[in-house]
Amino acid sequence: MSSATLSPAAAKADTPIPLRAHLRHTGALIRRNLLWIRQDPESMFDAILFPVVFTLLFVYVFGGSIGQSLGGGQEQYVQYVVPGLMAMMGMNMAQGVGTGFNQDFNSGVMDRFRSLPIGRGSVLFAKIAVELMRMLFATAVLMVVAVLVGYDIKDWAGMLASVGLSALFGSALMWVFLTLGVIMKNAQSVQAMGFLVLMPLQFGSSIFAPTASMPGWLQSFTDYNPLSALADTARGLMEGGPVAHDLWVTVIWSVGLTAVMAPVAIHKFRTKS
């Protein structure tokens, strides 16, 4: 569609917008998204229930047997799995942002935004900012439940660094799911695609169990799985141990995904018919 056939507001929206205006637009959209959560508190159920259910499930169902393989019992497994679950927070919130973004398109909300004289990237940055807030809330719930089931926080600074690293990787994944939210036809398709991608990454990693007992071909996969690097970095920061290699792997994955997928997501959002 040429600019001659666009409405005046849409044509103005396609003109360059100063950084200060972008920031103002992003702030206004963040407020809009937060107000929507306030009006629809059920949208926070996943951020509340996911860390509770996963922590209780893995600690009390698998904690005894896997803990023995770690040289201890359930208490040992709690110390192992909680940093891994923290690494999952950003990933699971990322899937939600793609589903919600697709629903906004199908409801006509995004068409309204694209008709306004606002920066296209502001809509996406606001979505990511709010999802990161939800991720931090989910992580806080996770740590409360973890302490209740026996987790011992040994290094508060390391825990905060792990949260920040998980947020960095989660925000990178959000760009992937925002792209899926634009190009897929419905929210169910986004969910299905997310399931097919995230399930192998989750369970083919060191999040829930050590990888030493896995088959050789699967260990090769886990060696390149960014979730393994993120989980191992979190363990090193929170429990003590080497972190340099896994830290750099996680940062490289995060920066690389953002550098590739952010422009793609913004372009797809601008050009979606």
User: Could you tell me if residue 13 is inside a domain?
Assistant: no
Do residues 216 and 134 lie in contact, with contact meaning Cβ atoms separated by under 8 Å?
Answer: no
pLDDT at 271 (0 to 100): 81
pLDDT tier, 5 (very low <50, low <70, confident <90, very high otherwise) = very low
Select the highest-mean-pLDDT range: 33-37, 40-44, 160-164.
Answer: 160-164
pLDDT at 9 over 60: no
pLDDT at 2 (0 to 100): 38
Structural domain count, the chain = 1
pLDDT at 232 (0 to 100): 93
Taking the C-alpha atoms of residue 74 and residue 59, their distance in angstroms, rounded to an integer, is 7
pLDDT at 15 over 80: no
Tell me which residue has tokens 């390391």: 158
pLDDT at 144 (0 to 100): 95
User: Could you tell me if residue 11 is inside a domain?
Assistant: no
User: Could you tell me if residue 34 is inside a domain?
Assistant: no
pLDDT at 1 (0 to 100): 38
Could you read off the pLDDT of 105-164 as tens digits, one per residue?
Answer: 777 777 677 676 777 678 888 889 999 999 999 999 999 999 999 999 988 999 999 999
pLDDT tier, 65 (very low <50, low <70, confident <90, very high otherwise) = confident
pLDDT at 10 (0 to 100): 44
> Which of 90-104, 109-123, 201-215 is predicted with the least confidence, judged by mean pLDDT?
109-123
Query: Residue type at 255?
Result: V
User: Could you tell me if residue 206 is inside a domain?
Assistant: yes
User: Could you tell me if residue 257 is inside a domain?
Assistant: yes
Q: Higher-confidence residue: 31 or 2?
A: 31
Whole-model pTM: value is 0.85
Taking the C-alpha atoms of residue 59 and residue 29, their distance in angstroms, rounded to an integer, is 39
User: Distance of alpha carbon 19 from its chain centroid, rounded?
Assistant: 26
User: Could you tell me if residue 107 is inside a domain?
Assistant: yes
pLDDT tier, 104 (very low <50, low <70, confident <90, very high otherwise) = confident
SS3 139: helix
User: Could you tell me if residue 37 is inside a domain?
Assistant: no
What percent of the residues of the chain are helix, what percent strand, and what percent coil, each to the nearest 5? 80, 0, 20
Taking the C-alpha atoms of residue 62 and residue 139, their distance in angstroms, rounded to an integer, is 21
Name the residue range of residue 223's domain.
Answer: 44-271
Could you read off the pLDDT of 147-205 as tens digits, one per residue?
Answer: 999 999 988 999 999 999 999 999 999 999 999 888 888 888 888 888 888 888 888 88
pLDDT at 99 (0 to 100): 83
User: Could you tell me if residue 19 is inside a domain?
Assistant: no
